[in-house]
């Protein structure tokens, strides 16, 4: 085993020791990467939470491994980004094969001037370990409770009452808000009887981690109809500690129980890696599903990550979508709790992140259709694209082995102010602010925890309700923020998304945009 699983201590909850317990501001259900990061985001904003999990170890198996640039930027804001990049396998090149011939390759971050790489591969258990250690740095703000299993919950009008089972018996807890970060099989969602509508694709993949000494480069490799796995698809990803992730398409008829057995897994892997010795670390069989809740906000219960939406893999849009959820929710919930915004601001979490989920579901459904075409026309056109790809450049881009997670641009959000000027599209209202080198560091690290007015090539200004950052734009910044303009003013939200921008300063316009971005 490449990773040693550490058991986290269970402590008798206060209520079962005869001590007061709450009422709490926020209860978070599920201490996976999303719940842990959620608690840290809130703690960094001064909001206390109690974080409860039914288990007491980090993720068993690597599970989510591909962390996208935007997630790394968010996790950097939360204090673990650099550590993840240091440990992770950095990659940006994807290579596509048909049979054993390369069809084409793509570079996910062709431009320089970003702190974070396009992607790293890092096992979910490491991410959770780092996040737990980070949580421990907020002993007064994060109350982490392992082996506290949610049994049921009810809304009380101004909060939520939830009942938990522990090794010492049951107890109840009250919180103003409850955040469900309890994954695809969310107990919160089920106990509220909410429909999780969507599509099940009739496809199964074998997913396995093997430990193997090999000199495979740090890139994503995807095969259509490889010689080692006839007629199906395969994916290879490199992880730290000589761990490789292999995904093999099995078809709908495969028996998951049988396929999980080592005697069936080993020959499949041997055909792929040849005579290199390897050990199997983890095996799972999964189906493709794209589903989401109709709404992510249900009065005082908020759904974040896989509890709210699930997508097929191959676009790395599950975990990375969840990270963008919590990034979106943290500052809004903090503002509602401290009274600087009304509860209606939470509705924008719902509208912005259902929009993000739909984008992820759209992309991952399209990838699934390409990877797993039905007989007839779907297979006919898949073959046509792959045949053409050998000769015609246009067809290479139609080959779809997953459209990898990119930051969601919140076009059309009610929090955006109208884009008043002719500035570059990449930094338009709704976009997450592009990073850029700045004074030997990075622009994103200079943004404040709350709203920031980024002033480029103009004299400093003071505005109520936002800290200001003044910079002289170099060539990279000019390209990302100015275009042909001489100067610009960007109002950036606490989650680093652009709320509004101008080429001239107008205090009234900034104040109005700030109010709009807070949901007023």
Q: Using CB under 8 A, pick the residue from 60, 200, 362, 380 that binds other proteins.
A: 380
User: What are the tokens at 171?
Assistant: 């107890």
Counting contacts by CB under 8 A, is residue 366 touching other proteins? no
Q: How far is the CB of 104 from other proteins (least distance, A)?
A: 15
Residue 340 vs 379, nearer CB to other proteins:
379
Q: Which stretch binds other proteins (CB under 8 A): 46-54, 90-98, 149-157, 389-397?
A: 389-397
Residue 109 vs 398, nearer CB to other proteins:
398
What backbone torsions phi and psi does residue 448 show, to the nearest 5 degrees?
Answer: -80, 170
Residue 99 vs 262, nearer CB to other proteins:
99
Q: Which stretch binds other proteins (CB under 8 A): 82-90, 315-323, 392-400, 406-414?
A: 392-400
Q: How far is the CB of 180 from other proteins (least distance, A)?
A: 39
Counting contacts by CB under 8 A, is residue 385 touching other proteins? yes
Q: Which stretch binds other proteins (CB under 8 A): 243-251, 364-372, 387-395, 494-502?
A: 387-395
d(CA 240, CA 247): 17
Q: What part of residues 397-416 is at the interface with other proteins (CB under 8 A)?
A: 398
Give buried/exposed letters for 263-277 (b at 16+ CB in 10 A, else e): eebeebbeebbeeee
Peptide bond into 23 cis (omega under 30): yes
User: What are the tokens at 458?
Assistant: 């103009």
Counting contacts by CB under 8 A, is residue 388 touching other proteins? yes
Residue 338 vs 387, nearer CB to other proteins:
387
Counting contacts by CB under 8 A, is residue 383 touching other proteins? yes
User: What are the tokens at 380?
Assistant: 């006919």
Q: Using CB under 8 A, pick the residue from 214, 384, 470, 507 that binds other proteins.
A: 384
Counting contacts by CB under 8 A, is residue 103 touching other proteins? no
Task: Check: CB of residue 198 under 8 Å from CB of residue 45.
Answer: no
Residue 382 vs 501, nearer CB to other proteins:
382
Counting contacts by CB under 8 A, is residue 395 touching other proteins? yes
String of contacts with other proteins for each residue 249-288, x by CB under 8 A: ----------------------------------------
What backbone torsions phi and psi does residue 130 show, to the nearest 5 degrees?
Answer: -65, -40
Q: Using CB under 8 A, pick the residue from 8, 104, 286, 381 that binds other proteins.
A: 381
Show Cβ contacts of residue 444 under 8 Å, excluding neighbours closer than 6 positions. 73, 76, 77, 115, 433, 435, 496
CA-CA distances (angstroms) from residue 299 to 81, 90, 133, 150? 32, 41, 32, 19
Residue 394 vs 484, nearer CB to other proteins:
394
Instruction: Output DSSP code: residue 23.
Output: -
Q: Using CB under 8 A, pick the residue from 57, 390, 392, 507 that binds other proteins.
A: 392
Show Cβ contacts of residue 305 under 8 Å, excluding neighbours closer than 6 positions. 32, 34, 35, 181, 183, 319, 321, 322, 325, 326
Counting contacts by CB under 8 A, is residue 48 touching other proteins? no
Counting contacts by CB under 8 A, is residue 509 touching other proteins? no
Counting contacts by CB under 8 A, is residue 362 touching other proteins? no
Q: How far is the CB of 397 from other proteins (least distance, A)?
A: 10
Residue 378 vs 506, nearer CB to other proteins:
378
DSSP string, 183-246: -TT-HHHHHTT---EEEEEEEEEEEEEEEE-----SSEEEEES-TTSTTSEEEEEEETTTEEEE
Residue 380 vs 470, nearer CB to other proteins:
380
Q: How far is the CB of 388 from other proteins (least distance, A)?
A: 6
Question: Alpha-carbon torsion 469, 470, 476, 482, what sign?
Answer: positive
User: What are the tokens at 405?
Assistant: 């997670």
What backbone torsions phi and psi does residue 485 show, to the nearest 5 degrees?
Answer: -75, 155
Q: Which stretch binds other proteins (CB under 8 A): 191-199, 367-375, 394-402, 431-439?
A: 394-402
Closest CA to 134 of 182, 55, 79, 89: 79
Question: Alpha-carbon torsion 129, 131, 137, 142, what sign?
Answer: negative
Residue 228 vs 381, nearer CB to other proteins:
381
Binding residues (CB under 8 A) for other proteins: these are 380-381, 383-385, 387-388, 392, 394-395, 398
């Amino acid at each position: 085993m490449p990773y040693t699983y550490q058991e986290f201590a269970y402590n008798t909850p206060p209520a079962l020791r005869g001590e007061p317990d709450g009422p709490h501001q926020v209860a978070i259900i599920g201490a996976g990467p999303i719940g842990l990061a959620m608690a840290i985001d809130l703690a960094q904003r001064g909001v206390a939470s109690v974080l409860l999990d039914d288990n007491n170890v980090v993720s068993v198996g690597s599970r989510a491994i591909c962390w996208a640039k935007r997630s790394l930027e968010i996790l950097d804001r939360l204090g673990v980004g650099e550590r993840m990049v240091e440990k992770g396998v950095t990659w940006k090149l994807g290579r596509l094969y048909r049979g054993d011939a390369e069809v084409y390759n793509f570079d996910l971050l062709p431009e320089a001037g970003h702190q974070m790489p396009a992607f790293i591969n890092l096992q979910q258990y490491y991410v959770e370990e780092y996040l737990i250690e980070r949580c421990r740095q907020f002993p007064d703000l994060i109350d982490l409770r392992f082996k506290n299993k949610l049994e049921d919950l009810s809304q009380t009008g101004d909060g939520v009452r939830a009942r938990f089972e522990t090794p010492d018996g049951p107890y109840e807890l009250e919180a103003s808000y409850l955040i469900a970060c309890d994954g695809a099989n969310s107990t919160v969602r089920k106990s509220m009887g909410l429909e999780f509508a969507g599509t099940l694709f009739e496809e199964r993949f074998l997913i396995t981690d093997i430990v193997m000494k090999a000199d495979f480069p740090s890139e994503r490799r995807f095969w259509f109809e490889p010689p080692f796995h006839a007629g199906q698809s395969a994916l290879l990803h490199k992880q730290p500690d000589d761990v490789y992730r292999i995904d093999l398409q099995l078809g709908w008829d495969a028996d998951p129980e049988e396929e999980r057995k080592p005697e069936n897994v080993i020959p499949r892997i041997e055909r792929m890696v040849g005579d290199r010795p390897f050990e199997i670390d983890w095996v799972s069989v999964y189906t493709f599903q794209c589903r989401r809740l109709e709404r992510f906000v249900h009065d005082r219960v908020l759904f974040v990550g896989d509890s709210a939406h699930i997508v097929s893999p191959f676009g790395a849009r599950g975990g990375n979508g969840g990270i963008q959820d919590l990034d979106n929710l943290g500052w809004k919930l903090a503002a509602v709790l401290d009274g600087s915004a009304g509860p209606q601001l939470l509705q924008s979490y719902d509208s912005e992140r259902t929009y993000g989920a739909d984008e992820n579901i759209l992309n991952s459904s399209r990838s699934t259709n390409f990877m797993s075409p039905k007989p007839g026309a779907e297979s006919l056109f898949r073959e046509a694209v792959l045949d053409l790809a050998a000769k015609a450049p246009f067809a290479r881009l139609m080959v779809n082995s997953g459209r990898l997670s990119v930051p969601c641009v919140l076009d059309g959000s009610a929090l955006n102010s109208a884009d008043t000027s002719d500035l570059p599209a990449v930094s338009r209202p709704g976009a997450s602010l592009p990073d850029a080198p700045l004074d030997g560091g990075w622009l994103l690290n200079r943004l404040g925890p709350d709203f920031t007015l980024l002033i480029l090539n103009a004299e400093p200004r003071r505005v109520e309700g936002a800290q200001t950052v003044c910079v002289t734009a170099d060539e990279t910044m000019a390209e990302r923020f100015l275009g042909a303009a001489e100067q610009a003013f960007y109002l950036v939200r606490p989650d680093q998304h652009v709320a509004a921008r101008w080429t001239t300063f107008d205090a009234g316009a900034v104040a109005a945009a700030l109010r709009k971005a807070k949901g007023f």
